[in-house]
Amino acid sequence: MSILTITLSEDRLTRLQEIASRFNVRAEDLARVGIEELLRQPDETFKQAAEYILSKNAELYRRLA
């Protein structure tokens, strides 16, 4: 595992700490989870788009087969 250092303005850090406190987690853990979720989204977005296109064109693909 690697370590990443980021710079946040004081108001952003305060906001992160407030949200983390509400969930009873460390600010570092909340930031990590947020980054992990962001990194997962492009794959999920592509998957949803591909499924939509395949289902929308299913009849066309069946005729062409």
Section 33-60 average pLDDT: 84
More reliable by pLDDT, 51 or 41: 51
CA end-to-end span of the chain: 47
pLDDT value of residue 12: 94
pLDDT value of residue 14: 96
Domain extents in the chain: 10-64
Region of 3 on the Ramachandran plot (φ > 0 left; ψ -120 to 50 alpha; else beta): beta
pLDDT at 64 over 90: no
pLDDT at 40 over 90: no
Over residues 5-37, the pLDDT tens digits come to 999 999 999 999 999 999 999 999 999 999 988
Alpha-carbon distances of 37 from 6, 16, 23, 61, rounded to whole Å? 17, 16, 17, 34
If we measure between CA atoms, which residue out of 1, 57, 59, 64 comes closest to residue 28? 1
